[in-house]
Structure 1
C-alpha cells in the first residue's frame, strides 16, 4: 500500500496544518490516498484576509509582471508533468495516459494562454469634439476571487480559473473538490517555488457545506467562479443573491448527439465512443444520449455496442486501459442506481453493467469500476434521458425527421453542448442554430479553442469562460470622461 499523503492549506504563502481531516480515497483501489484538511470558517477567513491584503500590490503590477509568474509556474508544471500525471490519475481514477496527454498539458496551456492573450485586449475610446471631451474605458480587477473547482478534471479546470483571475490582477482563494485535492496542493508548491507574492493565491481544502459555504458568503469575496453540479450551483446562487456578487456558474449537462443517415458512420461511432466514455463519462461535455436516424439505427447500434464491449476497463496505470474507476463509491452507486432506473422504465441494457462481466486485477477489486453501458428503448421523459448521470452510460434512440429531433433534443432542462453528424453543410448549420445549447460540434467533439466562449444555457449555467469572456468576468469596466477643450 502506498503512503497516505497529509495535505495542508496554503494561506498567505505558507502551508498551514488543520486540526481536522477528511479521508480521500484512491478510486482504483478503494484505499485511502490522502487526508484533506477539513477547513471551515476560521481557515477561510484567514485566507480571504491574506488575499485582500495582497490585492493592492498584485493589482498594481503590470500585465507582463503578473504574466511572468504564470509562465514560470507553467514551465515548472511542464517539467514535472509525469509526477503530476501520476498523482492526478491516482487521486481521480482516470488512466495515467489520459492525465499525461490531456489533463496536465491542458493545465500548462491554460496558464500560458491567459498569460499571453489577455494583456493584448484593447480598451475602447470615443472622442466627442462637439462637446470637447474624450471618453475612454479601463478594465480593473474586481478583488478577491473565490474559485471552486470540481473533481472530474481537477487541475485542468482549476487552472482554467486561476489563469485569467490572476493575470487580470485579482487575488485568489480557491477551494478544490475534497475528493481530488492532491494536484492543487502540489501546484501551491510551484507557486511558492517561483516566489509568487504571499497571499496572491490561497488554497483552502475542505467540503462544500463548511469551506465552500464560508467562501461564497464571505463579504470580502466579491466574485465567485464555480464549476460543479446544478444543485450546488443553485444553492450558491441563492446564498449569494443578497450580496450581489459577480457570478459564473458552469453546471450540469445532458448532452445529445444527432446522427443523420448521410454521415461518415465509422468516424461517428469512433468519436461517439470517446465522447460517451472518456474519463469514465465524467466530463460535463460527454454525450449521454444519442439520436440516430432510423435508416442507420440498427447499423449504428451494432457498431457502437461492439466497440463499447471492446474497451478495456481496469488499473489506470496500464497503458491499454481506456477506462479507469469512477471518482468515488457514492458516485459509483449513483450511476448503478440510474442503470436500475432504466430497467424500471422499460429500457434494454445492451452492454455494460449487469450484462457483461467486469474483470479487473485483484488489487483493484475494491475500486469503483462500471463498464461502459448502452441503453435503448427509453422514452424521452424517462429518468435516464432527462437527468444527468455523469458516468459511462449512454442512451440511444431513433428519430425520423429534422424537425422532430430538434424538438426532442431541446426538450431538456440542460443546455451545455451537442454534436451533429451529417455530410450536409446546410443541414448542419440549421441544426446548430436550432439547438438550445452553448456549443454545437459538427462531425467532431471536444475540439476546444480557448478564445471561444464556453458555457451553457438553462440549468447548465450562467456566464461564459474563454479569453474575452474571462477577461470581462474577472474585471469591471470603468468609463472615464475628460474635458479636453472648451
Structure 2
C-alpha cells in the first residue's frame, strides 16, 4: 500500500501524530494508499522551515530563482506519464485528459512564471530634478497555499510557481482527496535540489492542517481555491491577522446560445464545456440558456450527443468521462438530481449512477445529465453541483438572456455563442463574470488575469497580477543632492 509523507525542510517525514488517512481510488472505490493526517504541529514545523529559508531565497538573483523553476518544469515533463497515471488514479479523470491538459499546464505554470519574473518592471517618477520616487516590490514572506482536488497538480503549481518566483517561500496543503501528484512534485523538487524549506507540503484535512495554516501568525498570505462557504470561514480567520488573501471559488457558469450562432461549433464545444473532467472544473458550463427559436433543435442534437458520451474506466483511452472524485461527492451530485426530479424538472438524459463493468461497480460513476427547467430560482439553477449536470432553459431576447445569466450569486465564467459582433461585445460587458469566452471555451493565456466576481472570489491569478499578489509595494522618495563644480 502506497504511503505518502509530508515534505518539510527538504525531508520526507511522517506526521507528528503518527496518524494517517486512507486514500480511495475513484475507479473502483478501493483503498490504495494512505496520507498524513497532519495537525498544527506539522504546520508549525513547515512554517518554521519556510520562515528560516526565506532570507536566503528572496536574496537570490531572479535568474537563479528562475533556473530552479525551469528545472522543476523539465523534470515534470520528463515524468509526464507517471504524473498523469497518478492524477487519473487519484482524481478519476481519464488518463488521456491528464496527459493532454493537466500535466502540460502544470509544466507551463513553472516555465511561464520563471520567465515572467525576469521581465517584471517597476515604476519610477521624476518629481523634480532633485527628487525621484520609485516603487520596490518585495516578497511577502511565507505563502500559505491551499489547493483543490479537481485539477490537483495544475492548480497547485499555479500557486507555487508565482509564489517562489517572486521570492516567497511556501507551505502548501493539497487536497486530502488527491495527494499523489503533490507528493510526486515534492520528489521532483527534492531531486532538482530546491533549497531546503523553500517549498513545504503538508497533507491532511482542511479542519486540521488547513485551519492551522490559515491561522498561523507567521503566514502573512493565503491563496485558496475551493468552495465559497469554506472561503468565508478562511476570511473570518485571516481578517484579524491582516493577511493578504486571494480566493478562486465556485461557479454556476452560464452559456448563452443565440439563434445566429455557429450551431455545430456551439454543440461541439458545449459538450466539452459541460462535461469535461466529469463536470468537475470550476469553469464548466452548468446553465445553458438557448434562444427560443433555436431551443428545440439545439436540445435534440445536444441530448443526442450527450447520450453517446462514454462513461468508463479512466485508464481507457476510449472514456470521455471517468468516476467522480469520492463516494461523498457522488452522493452530493445524485442528491441534487433527485431533488430536481422531485421538484418537477425534466430529466432529458442521465440522472443516475452507472457502472462501466462488473469489476468497477463500486466506483463513483454518474451518467452525464441534462435537465430541462424554466425556474431560474430553483436549487438546481442556483447551487453549484460541480458534477456532470447541466440545465437547459429558453430565453426570449437579449435582455432576458443577460438577466437569467446574472441571476445567481456566482460570477466566475460565461460563454457566449453568436455571430453578431455587437451582441458579443455587449454581452461580455453586461454579464457579471470574471472570465468571458465568445465562441470558444477554456482558451487560456497565462498573461491574462483570472478570477471571479460576486461570490466566485476575490483577487486574480495569472500574469503580473499573480506576481503582484505575492509581493508588497514599498515606495521610496529620494532627494538627490547635486554637487556642482
TM-score of the pair, normalised by structure 1:
0.98
Distance 2:326 2:83 in 1: 20
* Matching residue within 222, 228, 239 for 1:241: 239
Instruction: Tell me if the contact between 1:308 and 1:372 (Cα under 8 Å) persists in the aligned partners.
Output: yes
Work out whether 1:210 is the aligned partner of 2:208. Answer: yes
Q: 1:359 to 1:14 in 2, by over 3 A?
A: closer
Q: Which residue of 1 aligns with 2:93?
A: 94
Instruction: Tell me if the contact between 2:36 and 2:204 (Cα under 8 Å) persists in the aligned partners.
Output: yes
User: How far off its partner does 1:118 sit?
Assistant: 2.4
Instruction: Tell me if the contact between 1:254 and 1:387 (Cα under 8 Å) persists in the aligned partners.
Output: yes
Distance 2:149 2:466 in 1: 21
Instruction: Tell me if the contact between 1:378 and 1:385 (Cα under 8 Å) persists in the aligned partners.
Output: no
Instruction: Tell me if the contact between 2:116 and 2:464 (Cα under 8 Å) persists in the aligned partners.
Output: no
Q: Which residue of 2 aligns with 1:226?
A: 224
* Matching residue within 455, 458, 466 for 1:462: 458
CA deviations 1:140-165 (Å, max 9, x no partner) are 00000000000000000000001100
Work out whether 1:440 is the aligned partner of 2:451. Answer: no
Instruction: Tell me if the contact between 1:253 and 1:415 (Cα under 8 Å) persists in the aligned partners.
Output: yes
Work out whether 1:5 is the aligned partner of 2:2. Answer: yes
User: How far off its partner does 1:378 sit?
Assistant: 4.1
CA deviations 1:91-116 (Å, max 9, x no partner) are 00000000000010010000001001
Aligned residues: 480
Q: How does 1:366-377 map to 2 (within 5 A)?
A: 366-377=362-373
Instruction: Tell me if the contact between 1:223 and 1:246 (Cα under 8 Å) persists in the aligned partners.
Output: yes
Distance 1:69 1:301 in 2: 50
Where in structure 2 are there 5+ consecutive unaligned residues? Answer: none
Q: Which residue of 1 aligns with 2:73?
A: 74
Instruction: Tell me if the contact between 1:154 and 1:176 (Cα under 8 Å) persists in the aligned partners.
Output: yes
User: How far off its partner does 1:407 sit?
Assistant: 1.1
Q: Which residue of 2 aligns with 1:38?
A: 37
Distance 1:103 1:10 in 2: 22
Distance 2:136 2:403 in 1: 43
Q: Which residue of 1 aligns with 2:332?
A: 334
Where in structure 1 are there 5+ consecutive unaligned residues? Answer: none
- Secondary structure at the counterpart of residue 389 of structure 1: coil
TM-score of the pair, normalised by structure 2:
0.98
User: How far off its partner does 1:24 sit?
Assistant: 1.2
Q: How does 1:306-385 map to 2 (within 5 A)?
A: 306-354=304-352, 358-385=354-381
Q: Which residue of 2 aligns with 1:54?
A: 53
Q: Which residue of 2 aligns with 1:15?
A: 12
Instruction: Tell me if the contact between 1:133 and 1:485 (Cα under 8 Å) persists in the aligned partners.
Output: no
CA deviations 1:152-188 (Å, max 9, x no partner) are 0000000000110000000000000000001101111
Distance 2:374 2:56 in 1: 58
- Secondary structure at the counterpart of residue 118 of structure 2: helix
- Secondary structure at the counterpart of residue 293 of structure 2: helix
* Matching residue within 177, 185, 195 for 1:197: 195
Q: Which residue of 1 aligns with 2:142?
A: 144
Distance 1:392 1:224 in 2: 30
RMSD: 0.9
Q: Which residue of 2 aligns with 1:258?
A: 256
Instruction: Tell me if the contact between 2:355 and 2:365 (Cα under 8 Å) persists in the aligned partners.
Output: no
Instruction: Tell me if the contact between 1:415 and 1:438 (Cα under 8 Å) persists in the aligned partners.
Output: yes
User: How far off its partner does 1:404 sit?
Assistant: 1.2
Q: Which residue of 2 aligns with 1:393?
A: 389
